[in-house]
């Protein structure tokens, strides 16, 4: 097992090469890996929309930028979040220039009052495929970031791409590009498992609350 792929794959924003093309074949190979993810009752609810067209990417980029700004407003970031916010803003300013955007969708739409079990089954059946896709991209030298900021404009993006809004939920938008030379990311900062794990009970699992 490639442990480094699992521990080293992280959000890439400033490290995305906006000028080097990414081939359809590279993306298709990664999508072939993504679909091996688990899902409830093996429903395989994932659907992918690969966006290459410059006009579509620019329009989605604009919705993303507005969604990102709305997300930030009224929030006071912790000091350790400032670097991520800077790179987040960079991505928001350049999303439309990234060689490919992959919009991950899931068949169905949860009612607002869906019980926890249904929510877990719905989202738990799609995010493993998103992470599989990110790992596959990274294994092939491509960078990506899981993003959701455009979802404030999910309906507008659905119209733009011909996605039936009432029947299909968008869950993540991945900007995809080759990694800039020398931008193999430093390992992600994570709280050690020992600090967030209780054995035979909750005690010890409190971790460091943000």
Task: State the Cα–Cα distance between residues 143 and 27, nearest whole angstrom.
Answer: 12
Our CB check for ligand FMN shows the closer of 162 and 207 to be 207
148 binds ligand FMN (CB under 6 A): yes
Select from 43, 62, 84, 156 the one that contacts ligand FMN (CB under 6 A). Answer: 84
Select from 29, 72, 139, 146 the one that contacts ligand FMN (CB under 6 A). Answer: 146
Our CB check for ligand FMN shows the closer of 10 and 183 to be 10
Sheet of strand 168-178: strand arrangement? 46-51, 100-107, 168-178, 142-144
Task: State the Cα–Cα distance between residues 210 and 202, nearest whole angstrom.
Answer: 18
Residue 95: φ, ψ to 5°: -55, -40
What residues between 162 and 201 interact with ligand FMN by CB under 6 A? 188-189
In angstroms, give the least distance from the CB of 147 to ligand FMN.
Answer: 4
Task: State the Cα–Cα distance between residues 47 and 40, nearest whole angstrom.
Answer: 15
Look at residues 106, 90, 118 and name the one whose alpha carbon lies nearest to residue 49.
106
Size of the site for ligand FMN (CB under 6 A): 12
Under the rule (CB under 6 A), what is the footprint of ligand FMN?
10-11, 84, 88, 91, 145-149, 188-189
């Amino acid at each position: 097992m490639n442990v480094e792929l699992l521990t080293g794959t992280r959000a890439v924003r400033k490290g995305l090469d906006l000028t080097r093309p990414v081939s359809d074949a590279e993306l298709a190979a990664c999508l072939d890996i993504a679909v091996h993810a688990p899902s409830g009752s093996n429903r395989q609810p994932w659907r992918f929309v690969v966006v290459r067209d410059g006009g579509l990417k620019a329009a989605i980029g604009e919705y993303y930028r507005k969604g990102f700004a709305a997300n930030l407003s009224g929030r006071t970031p912790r000091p350790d979040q400032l670097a991520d916010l800077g790179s987040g803003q960079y991505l928001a300013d350049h999303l439309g220039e990234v060689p490919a955007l992959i919009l991950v969708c899931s068949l169905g739409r949860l009612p607002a009052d869906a019980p926890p079990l249904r929510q877990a089954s719905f989202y738990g059946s799609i995010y493993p495929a998103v992470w599989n896709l990110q790992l596959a991209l990274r294994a092939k030298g491509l960078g990506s970031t899981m993003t959701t900021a455009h979802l404030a404009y999910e309906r507008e993006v659905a119209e733009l791409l011909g996605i039936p809004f009432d029947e299909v939920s968008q869950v993540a938008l991945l900007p995809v590009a080759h990694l800039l030379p020398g931008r193999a990311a430093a390992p992600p900062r994570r709280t050690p498992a020992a600090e967030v794990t209780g054995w035979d009970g909750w005690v010890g699992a409190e971790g460091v609350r943000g």
